Amino acid sequence: MEKTSMSLDEIEEKLKGNRHALIQLWENSKQQEKIDKLKAEEFREALDKARAGTIDWGYHQLHRIKNSSNPFINKKEIIEAAELFFKHWLKEDMPYDALKIAYQYGLGLEFLQRAAEYLVDSIICKPGYDRSPGIAVIRKGWIKNEKLIRAYFQDTYKEFLSRNCTDLLPLITEFPQYFNEEQKEIAAALGVSSSPILVREFWEEYP
């Protein structure tokens, strides 16, 4: 850092209220504790807003906090924030993000099931939507509602029949209990390979 006639304390006082500039000052002067304290303050402000029903942070910001090992933020607070974000994203019709945060923050099976069921239900009767995310969460066993699974696969059967019929045989081979004999015969006639459909476990991916 270049020499200046002002002391660091004086510069800090001049920058009071400007968090962005203060963080840069402290990075330059290697004052990590002050940076951590300020970021913890920002986090708690965002958490208080979230408790009151206002979410103005994104996944990236929470993820950075989680990985920062900030000594002034405890794990309980991060989990609480993750649960609030989860509820917000389901409310905003964002089940993919909700499922990611449930998985990556270890919120538990109940949260995973809620997001997975919401995701699958949101895809049904939407032509052109990618069906692999639904297949992926069903494979994981996160959906216990057999009626929903059946409805999803029957809708996926129609989608595959009209758009990518060679995927019918792999689908029915893996999940035969959800299809009738006629559907199985049609799939066999149209099939090329019965190898399982490749899907991404998107809940492990970071933005």
Q: In this structure, what DSSP letter does residue 196 have? A: P
Q: Could you tell me how many residues make up the chain?
A: 207
d(CA 125, CA 58): 29
Residues 6+ apart with CB under 8 A from 197: 132, 135, 167, 170, 171, 174
Per-residue pLDDT of the chain (207 residues; tens, 9 = 90+): 555 588 998 998 999 989 999 999 999 999 999 999 999 999 999 999 999 988 887 778 888 888 888 999 999 999 999 999 999 999 999 999 999 999 999 999 999 999 999 999 999 999 999 999 999 999 999 999 999 999 999 999 999 999 999 999 999 999 999 999 999 999 999 999 999 999 999 999 875
The single-letter DSSP state of residue 194 is: -
CB atoms within 10 A of CB 86: 22
Nearest-angstrom CA–CA distance, 22 and 31: 10
What are the domain boundaries of the chain?
A: 93-207
Euclidean distance between CA atoms 118 and 24, whole angstroms: 42
